[in-house]
């Protein structure tokens, strides 16, 4: 295992992103660490309540994960991920 994803996923990222793969792997590792530390401990309770705690959304914003843009080539016109959510 490499963080929260395995060797197969790491190889796939390297194949897809080539020389930029280290940036993507760092992002995935950081996001995985965040989810393991902040989200996973309360995931069962969150599922049972069928709601995503506002506090978790705030933490995502603080970590900068909601500031990631999407590529216009995916017809998203460079919109930010979770841009419709605000803490």
Q: Same domain, yes or no, for 73 and 45? A: no
Q: Same domain, yes or no, for 47 and 62? A: no
CA 67, CA 87: separation in Å to the nearest integer?
Answer: 13
* pLDDT of amino acid 64: 81
Q: Which residue has the higher pLDDT, 83 or 47?
A: 47
Q: Same domain, yes or no, for 3 and 43? A: yes
* pTM score: 0.62
CA–centroid distance for 75 within its chain? 20
Q: Same domain, yes or no, for 63 and 32? A: no
Q: Tell me: the pLDDT tens digits for 22-69?
A: 888 888 888 888 989 998 999 999 999 998 888 988 888 888 877 666
Residues in contact with 28: Cβ distance below 8 Å, sequence separation at least 6, in sequence order: 3, 4, 5, 9, 13
Number of domains in the chain: 2
- Show the domain range for 44: 1-51
Residue 81 has pLDDT above 60, yes or no: no
Q: Same domain, yes or no, for 33 and 67? A: no
For residue 5, the SS3 value is strand
Residues in contact with 7: Cβ distance below 8 Å, sequence separation at least 6, in sequence order: 1
């Amino acid at each position: 295992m490499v963080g929260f994803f395995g060797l197969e996923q790491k190889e796939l990222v390297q194949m897809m992103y080539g020389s930029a793969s280290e940036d993507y792997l760092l992002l995935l590792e950081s996001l995985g660490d965040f989810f393991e530390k902040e989200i996973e401990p309360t995931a069962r309770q969150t599922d049972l309540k069928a709601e995503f705690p506002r506090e978790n959304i705030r933490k995502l914003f603080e970590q900068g994960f909601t500031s990631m843009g999407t590529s216009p080539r995916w017809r998203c016109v460079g919109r930010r991920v979770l841009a419709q959510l605000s803490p």
